[in-house]
C-alpha cells in the first residue's frame, strides 16, 4: 500500500516493496498522490514482483501478536481486556504457524470453535484484534504480507443488542443477596450503578476529589470514548455516597475490577436473578432517565454518548409505562 505524506505544500506518494527500491512522486493535490499510489500498487501486483519470503518463513503469528501486545495494546485504555484476548489467541494452534504458512482456514476453524460457547460479538472482537495486528504489521512494521487473512474470514453476526431490564422484585432480590457478601461495598456499588448508568470500570475509578456532594455533581476524567464528562447525580446516588465509609480511601469504591466480577457472579447465583449482566444496569438507568422525562441531550450528558443515535441501543422503554402517558 502506498504511503501518502505531506511535504511542505505538496503531497508525496511512496510505494515500497521489500527487496526493491522505493518509488515516489510529488503532487500538488493529495487526491492525485493517492491515485498515483494506487496505480503503482496495481502495476506492481500485475507485474508479479517477487516478495522476499525469508521473513515470512521465520516469523510466526505468535510473534506478531506478542509485538502487537507490547507496542500497540500497551498504549490503549482497554489494555487489560485486550491483553486477556491476546493471551487467549496466543494459546491457539494458529499462533505457531509461520506467516508463510498462514491462510484464512485456521482462523475460520477458530471462529467455528468459539461459536459453540460465546456470542458473535465476542468472536468479532477477537477477530478484529487479529485483523488490526496484521494490518499494523503490513503498514508500520514492513512485514511483507501481501494480504490480511482475517479479511477473508466471514465474521459472525453481532446479534441484537440486549434489551434486558430489571423485572419486578429483581433489584430487591439482588440487594437482599448482598447481605451475605463479605464485602460491604457490593450493595452501594450496584445501587450507584442503577442511579448513574456508569460503567463498572468508571465506578471503580471514582475518587472523592471528583465528587461535589453539595452541587450533586461527579467529574469523570477517564471514559471509554476518551472524552471526560461531569454528570449530575440523583438524590439516590448522593445518598449512597454519603453512606459510604471509605473517606480514608482516595477512591469512593476501593474495589478492583476482578474482585467485583467475582462478587457479582456469586451475588447472581444467590439472588436467583438470571440472565442479568452488570452492564444491564446501564440499560436500566438510561431507560429510567427517559421515563423521568429527561430529553435526549440531557440523558447524553449523563451517559456520555456523543452520537445520540447510539442511545437507542441502551434505551428500552416499557410499553405499559408509555400507555399511562397516553391517557
Q: Is the distance from CB of 204 to CB of 256 less than 8 angstroms?
A: yes
User: In whole angstroms, what is the distance from residue 36 CA to residue 43 CA?
Assistant: 10
Catalytic: which of 124, 165, 279, 313?
279
The 10s digit of each residue's pLDDT in 9-23 is 888 888 876 655 577
User: In whole angstroms, what is the distance from residue 278 CA to residue 213 CA?
Assistant: 25
The 10s digit of each residue's pLDDT in 119-147 is 888 999 999 999 999 999 998 998 888 88
- Evaluate the CA torsion angle 171, 319, 283, 277 in order and state its sign: positive
pLDDT at 155: 92
Annotated catalytic residue 305:
yes
CA distances from 158 to 121, 148, 189, 211, 275 (A): 4, 21, 29, 37, 18
Q: Could you tell me which residues come within 8 angstroms of residue 65 by beta carbon, excluding any fewer than 6 positions away?
A: 86, 89, 90, 95, 130, 133
Annotated catalytic residue 282:
yes
**Global pTM value:** 0.66
Catalytic: which of 114, 282, 283, 288?
282
Annotated catalytic residue 215:
no
Cell of 160: 441484537
Structural domains of the chain ordered from first start? 3-50 (no CATH), 55-152 (1.10.150), 170-326 (1.10.443.10)
Give the 3-state secondary structure of residue 154: coil
User: In whole angstroms, what is the distance from residue 95 CA to residue 89 CA?
Assistant: 7
The 10s digit of each residue's pLDDT in 170-197 is 999 999 999 988 889 999 999 999 999 9
The 10s digit of each residue's pLDDT in 28-52 is 888 888 888 888 777 766 555 555 5
The average confidence (pLDDT) of the chain is 86
Catalytic: which of 111, 199, 205, 288?
199
Amino acid at each position: 500500500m502506498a504511503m501518502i505524506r505531506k511535504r511542505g505544500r505538496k503531497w508525496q506518494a511512496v510505494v515500497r516493496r521489500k527487496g526493491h527500491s522505493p518509488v515516489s512522486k510529488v503532487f500538488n493535490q493529495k487526491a492525485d498522490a493517492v491515485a498515483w499510489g494506487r496505480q503503482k500498487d496495481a502495476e506492481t501486483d500485475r507485474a508479479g514482483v517477487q516478495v522476499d519470503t525469508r521473513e515470512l518463513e521465520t516469523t510466526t503469528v505468535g510473534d506478531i501478536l506478542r509485538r502487537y501486545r507490547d507496542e500497540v495494546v500497551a498504549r490503549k485504555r482497554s489494555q487489560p481486556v485486550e491483553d486477556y484476548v491476546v493471551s487467549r489467541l496466543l494459546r491457539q494452534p494458529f499462533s505457531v504457524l509461520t506467516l508463510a504458512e498462514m491462510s484464512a482456514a485456521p482462523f475460520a476453524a477458530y471462529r467455528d470453535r468459539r461459536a459453540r460457547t460465546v456470542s458473535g460479538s465476542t468472536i468479532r472482537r477477537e477477530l478484529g484484534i487479529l485483523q488490526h495486528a496484521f494490518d499494523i504489521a503490513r503498514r508500520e512494521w514492513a512485514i511483507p504480507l501481501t494480504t490480511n487473512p482475517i479479511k477473508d474470514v466471514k465474521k459472525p453476526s453481532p446479534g441484537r443488542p440486549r434489551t434486558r431490564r430489571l423485572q419486578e422484585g429483581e433489584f430487591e432480590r439482588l440487594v437482599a443477596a448482598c447481605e451475605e457478601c463479605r464485602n460491604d461495598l457490593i450493595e452501594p456499588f450496584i445501587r450507584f450503578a442503577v442511579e448513574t448508568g456508569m460503567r463498572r470500570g468508571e465506578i471503580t475509578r471514582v475518587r472523592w476529589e471528583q465528587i461535589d456532594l453539595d452541587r450533586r455533581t461527579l467529574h469523570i476524567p477517564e471514559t471509554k470514548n476518551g472524552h471526560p464528562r461531569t454528570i449530575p447525580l440523583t438524590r439516590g446516588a448522593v445518598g449512597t455516597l454519603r453512606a459510604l465509609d471509605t473517606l480514608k480511601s482516595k477512591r469512593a469504591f476501593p474495589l478492583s475490577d476482578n474482585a467485583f466480577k467475582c462478587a457479582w457472579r456469586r451475588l447472581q447465583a444467590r439472588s436467583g436473578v438470571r440472565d442479568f449482566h452488570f452492564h444491564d444496569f446501564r440499560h436500566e438507568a438510561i431507560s429510567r432517565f427517559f421515563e423521568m422525562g429527561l430529553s435526549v441531550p440531557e440523558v447524553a450528558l449523563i451517559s456520555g454518548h456523543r452520537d445520540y443515535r447510539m442511545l437507542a441501543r441502551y434505551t428500552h422503554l416499557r410499553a405499559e409505562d408509555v400507555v399511562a402517558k397516553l391517557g
